[in-house]
Chain A
Amino acid sequence: DGMNILFIVVDDLRPVLGCYGDKTVKSPNIDQLASQSMVFSNAYAQQAVCAPSRVSFLTGRRPDTTRLYDFYSYWRVHAGNYSTMPQYFKENGYMTLSVGKVFHPGVSSNYSDDFPYSWSIPPFHPSTEKYENDKTCRGKDGKLYANLVCPVDVTEMPSGTLPDMQSTEEAIRLLNVMKTKKQKFFLAVGYHKPHIPLRYPQEFLKLYPLENITLAPDPWVPEKLPSVAYNPWTDIRQRDDVKALNVSFPYGPLPDDFQRQIRQSYYAAVSYLDTQVGLLLNALDDVGLSNSTIVVFTADHGWSLGEHGEWAKYSNFDVATRVPLMFYVPGLTTSSVSEGEKIFPYLDPFSHGLGLVPQGQSNKVVELVSLFPTLAELAGLRVPPACPESSFHVALCTEGASIVRYFNASEEKVEEKNGCDDTCRC
């Protein structure tokens, strides 16, 4: 009778996580999920910008088929009436639910997150989302700004909360409703952080003392980088704190100290996100659904933290396209646990160190466009057929291949082959 699906997608998260070998970031809850999951260490987005990447993996089509390279067209009108992954689950008896940022809002999802095609009920958006770009960051002078680096006192925020906190609350509420109704569900939860502005509860700064934060290993524009390949990080330049630095266009650079502040706040935002994921997974345990729910954790693309003299996404560099990708599948990636036993107890990043290793890992190169067929196969649904060369007229097909075959492959252990790579060090 099919597993439930909890699909967690994070905005602009590169794999700076303990379970991907990062030695700086504290992400115990995501690492705990990884310890029960199949983790792909070489997963890539089809385009390193929000709407095109999301429409691509949610329809299982590449950008040249969705014909969305910017934010201003809706694929059903502009390219073809492609079925989406949630729509497919809905047509197969699932209650499909969207919380937070799953589709990119606006034109590219028809100002409706593609409801009612993709979702059973109107998608939930946190009420405080509208303040995201307001002047809510307190400067040294005590005034409020719209900064890039924005640690905040949450009690001072509009409604005394933040969008991702509201999303977690709503997702937990929906889990309880689904449990009560004994209804099979596909619940997609889209977290905003660490997308800019890097606005997060200021206490997370304590995890990352500035003196411990280094510059990127290669913070210069490479000599032989073609100028067309370089992204001039225009969006962060428009933030008040960056604007005040008056850096030259297009190559900057930003002052070293500010570069370290950005990296510090990105890490702090990741740990804040980790706590939200931890609360959500703890609730999955509490409602007794951990043994009957597949959990997918991924991101829409990465984010450059000063490598190659670049910031943000908007490029083909691995730091902008590589994403975390892991699948927790009860009975496949872990043996089912006894009733009542907790699989995902909440872990406090302030008191919990590293130490968790992925249950399974694959360094096979995979793509987000494979998510749709992979999840269909894991859920026991018919896998959508491969698309023909030109598929604008085909409603249901996929341009990615299912990667379930890599779950079982006796992965050549990286540490046996050529020493321990980053991932196995966690």
Chain B
Amino acid sequence: FNEEPVAFSQYPRPADAPQWNSDKPKLKDIRIMGYSMRTIDYRYTLWVGFNPNNFSADFEDVHAGELYMMETDPNQDYNIYNNTSHGSLLKKIL
């Protein structure tokens, strides 16, 4: 009960920039995985390197990050990942 409910989602990408197969990359073409952690207050997403051969994600290889605070930005238009320290969120998502 006292645990903060969290929802985890993820989405694969073949490259950093949008390309024709960005929406639906085949397993062999996946190079990046975006892992999202959501609570009632925020959505924190890390786009990290992904190896499709052994299904491993490399959280040392961060391609990009997103952080949206739901109370002030419910539509998720203002990514504050680069202007905040989020070590605790990284620890939590790991």
Contacts and interface: CB of A to CB of B under 8 A. Distances in A.
A367 B5 CA distance: 9
Interface residues of A, number: 51
Given A64-B55, A367-B8, A72 B27 contact: yes
B90 interface: no
A228 B23 contact: no
A395 to B, nearest CB: 20
A63 B10 CA distance: 8
Interface in B64-81: 64-66, 75-81
A64 B40 CA distance: 24
B22 to A, nearest CB: 5
A222 B45 CA distance: 15
Contacts of A308: 76-77
Contacts, number: 144
Given A64-B55, A69-B30, A228 B82 contact: no
A312 B10 contact: no
B94 interface: no
Nearest to B66: A229
B1 to A, nearest CB: 7
A314 B27 contact: no
A217 B25 contact: no
> Which size bracket describes the interface of B in this complex?
35 or more
A318 B68 CA distance: 11
A218 interface: yes
A265 to B, nearest CB: 20
Contacts of A185: none
A288 B39 CA distance: 40
A47 B10 contact: yes
B37 to A, nearest CB: 10
Contacts of B34: 228-229, 316
Interface in A317-356: 317-318, 321
A49 interface: yes
Interface in B1-50: 1, 5-13, 15-27, 30, 32-34, 36, 38-40, 43, 45, 47
A230 interface: yes
A46 B64 contact: no
Contacts of A261: none
Interface of A: 42-49, 62-64, 67, 69-73, 217-218, 222, 224-235, 249-251, 307-308, 312, 314-318, 321, 363-367, 405, 409
Given A232-B18, A318-B76, A364-B5, 4 more contacts: A44-B38, A218-B75, A226-B64, A365-B39
